[in-house]
Amino acid sequence: MRQKKEHIRNFSIIAHIDHGKSTLADRLLELTDSVAKRDMQQQLLDNMELEKERGITIKARAVTLDYKAHDGNTYELNLIDTPGHVDFNYEVSRSLAACDGAILIVDATQGVEAQTLANTYLALEHDLELVPVINKIDLPAADPDRVCADVEEIIGLDCEDAPRISAKTGQNVEAVLEKIVRDIPCPEGDDDAPFKALVFDSVYDNYKGVIVYVRVMDGTLRSGDTMKMMATGATFTVVEVGHMRAMSLENTGVLKAGEVGYITASIKSVSEARVGDTVTKVGNEAAEPLPGYKKVNPMVFCGLYPADGADYEALKEALEKLQLNDAALSFEPETSGALGFGFRCGFLGLLHLEIIQERLEREYDLDLVSTVPSVVYKIHLSDGRVVEIDNPTNYPDPAIIDYVEEPMADAHIYSPPEYIGVIMALCQDRRGTLKDQQYISSDRVDIHYKLPLNEIIYDFFDALKSRTRGYASFDYELCGYERSNLVKLDVLLNGDLIDALSYIIHSEKAYPRARKIAEKLKDNIPRQMFEIPVQIAIGGKVIARETIKAMRKDVLAKCYGGDITRKKKLLEKQKEGKKRMRQFGTVEVPQEAFMAILKLDDQT
């Protein structure tokens, strides 16, 4: 029988960046005594070092809080955090699907901002009840009345009794908890129905194997039951089920309809318990999985090579470990004439790529060189065969190519109407085709474009943000392949072809792009002992060239008794610097040069 689970609330917190999401989360943990004061690190939910630095959440987290409300009842509050970047849009949507409501934080000094709106629309798509909260009222510039009016007008949310708080000082935060209990609907479900739970996150743990984070829709699951992943059909014996506490997992032995919790079942890799999949129970199996499952496939590929060839095995092990925790990361061995042995890796997008690369460098202490990212092209050869390539190096001789197809993306850009012009200019520049344009409200327009994927993977999101001062949001999905007029650009340094820098591009853009690549290489490759010609070619034809002048002065004028140790240290440093360079024939190229040519559209 379907029941209301009166004492459970499942919610997330959404906000524009820096409006205080993590601080409020910390305060809620404290108020519900989930964490002892002395264990309170700032911003407990973002527990990857990288997340703290970038100020964005990469992986979702969840935590269960017990709150004794003013009505005398104790409530189980499940706070589900969401990642904050378009690369992880799918994960965001699954996290929101696990909730019944969301707290919308608005900064009392700033009001409604781009992501406030973008996240609001996302939450409304999932039918979430929104609870507005006005934060940072302790600041002198706070104007809660104006901001409330703002929210009412722009978003259409009643702010009359929106809690006005300071997450930083803790002022009035209790009111947020009361609001959650009062305004967010409780989940409903049938404890006896076939078991159905949505996977909204999964992480790998060295001791327990994969920890699957779920929202139970119906049914009951106990330790010892046999569970089944509906997308893959894989079955596992449940070891633990329970709640996520702030500092540890609490094994309760049972999870029931409406609850948010975790399951462990000696699962070896997160690819066996992917986000969006449905968990059911063997013996009381659900007929249908929950809607919305997508296997997230990598869309952007690049080669990752150890700067020092001896680190190949270490890189392989590091990638294997990261993959245990990241179902969207793929890799396989490849070899490059310029870079030696490495791996072809697949990512969701450029941010995902950068994050993985940074984690490899920091957490595994590896020096890496990456090649230019690419999408997967379908090459139709004159003999009728079709080859798929994700590495420009493998681009066949144009003479045997009949035609080429490139992947297309169906993109929605949401923006205030005043930016329609610049957005269209950007999309036009990126070879987009306008499909449709619709006003969602008087100040929100949905611009629907079809864009080649290779035009958006590198820096489209950044360009969009900078041109719309952060007010536009962007979402895309793949929509098949289309025939296109593409060419391969080759980079030659000092006459040697650098395969790792080859680049596939639409022929109309080849010339300007070639000139920019040549300039960027010139600016990013340090002067060396000889003059180095930089040439960009299509086939055998050079279409752009620059020259890196020879180094003129690099000398220590004074070197006497007291300078020798210092000079030796300088030499050591010089050697370290060289480690970050790759030797291409006679030319040394720093890692930065590889990254720089990816970001050609910086507003330089």
Partner 1 sequence: MPGIYIHVPFCASKCPYCDFYSVADRGRIDNYISAVIDELATLRRVGPLAGDLKHRAIATVYFGGGTPSFVGAENLSRLLLAVKDNFNVPSGAEITAECNPSSSLAPGFFETLAAAGFNRVSLGMQSAVDAERKKLGRKATAVDVETAVKACQSAGITDISLDIMLGVPEQTERSLLSSQDFALSLGVTHLSAYMLSIEEGTFFDKKRDALNLPEEDAVCDMYLSLCEYLKNNGFRHYEISNFCLPGHEARHNTAYWRDEEYLGIGPAAHSYLNGRRFYFPRDLDAFISGMPPVDDGPGGGPEEAVMLALRLDTGISLQEIKEKFAVAPSPGLPAILQKYQSAGLLTFDGDRIALTEKGFLVSNALIGDVISAMDGNR
User: For 131, how many CA atoms within 13 A lie in the half-sphere containing its CB?
Assistant: 23
Q: Which of 398, 429, 570, 602 binds partner 1 (CB under 8 A)?
A: 570
Q: Is residue 559 part of the contact set for partner 1 (CB under 8 A)?
A: yes
Stretch that binds partner 1, among 217-225, 259-267, 404-412, 563-571 (CB under 8 A): 563-571
Exposure pattern of 150-179 as b/e (b: 16+ CB <10 Å)?
Answer: bbeebbebebeebbbbbbbeeeebbebbeb
Minimum distance from residue 579 beta carbon to partner 1 (Å):
11
List the beta bridge partners of residue 341: 335
Question: Residue 384 or residue 562: which is nearer to partner 1 going by CB?
Answer: 562
Question: Which residue from 141, 560, 603, 604 is in contact with partner 1, where contact means CB under 8 A?
Answer: 560
Bridge-based pairing state of the strands 101-107 and 129-135: parallel
Q: Tokens 């080649």 label which residue? A: 452
Of the candidate spans 23-31, 374-382, 470-478, 574-582, the one that interacts with partner 1 by CB under 8 A turns out to be 574-582
With CB under 8 A as the contact rule, the residue among 561, 580, 593, 603 that binds partner 1 is 561
Q: Which one of 122-130, 176-184, 219-227, 557-565 is the stretch in contact with partner 1 (CB under 8 A)?
A: 557-565
Q: 147, 134 in Cβ contact below 8 A? A: yes
Query: Minimum distance from CB of 515 to partner 1 (Å)?
Result: 26
What per-residue string of b and e applies to 92-118 under the rule 16 or more CB within 10 Å gives b? bbbbbbbbbbbbbbbbbbbbbbbbbbb
The first and second tokens of residue 323, run together, are 């993959």
Q: Whose Cβ is closer to partner 1: residue 541's or residue 575's?
A: 575
Choosing from 70, 146, 469, 578, the residue that interacts with partner 1 (CB under 8 A) is: 578
Per-residue H/E/C for 328-383: CCEEEEEEECCCEEEEEEEECCHHHHHHHHHHHHHHCCCCEEECCCECCEEEEECC
CA atoms 53, 55, 61, 67: torsion sign:
positive
Q: Give 207 or 560: the residue with its C-beta nearer to partner 1.
A: 560
With binding defined as CB under 8 A, does residue 332 bind partner 1? no
CA 346/CA 319 separation, integer angstroms: 11
Tokens coding 337: 């004439």
Asked if 77 contacts 9 with a C-beta cutoff of 8 angstroms, the reply is yes
Calculate the alpha carbon distances from 153 to 112, 165, 432, 442 in Å: 10, 21, 33, 11
Q: Does 310 bind partner 1 (CB under 8 A)?
A: no
CB of 549 to partner 1, least distance (A): 10
Q: Which stretch binds partner 1 (CB under 8 A): 9-17, 191-199, 408-416, 567-575?
A: 567-575
Q: Does 387 bind partner 1 (CB under 8 A)?
A: no
- Residue 557 near partner 1 by CB under 8 A: yes
Interface with partner 1 (CB under 8 A), residue from 68, 205, 253, 530: 530
Among 539, 574, 576, 602, binds partner 1 (CB under 8 A): 574
Amino acid at 211: I
Residue in 387, 425, 440, 556 binding partner 1, rule: CB under 8 A? 556
CA atoms within a 13 Å half-sphere pointing along the CA-CB vector of 572: 6
Residue 400 found at the interface with partner 1 (CB under 8 A): no
Among 248, 565, 603, 604, binds partner 1 (CB under 8 A): 565
Summarize as ranges the residues that interact with partner 1 (CB under 8 A).
528-530, 550-562, 564-565, 567-568, 570-571, 574-575, 578, 586
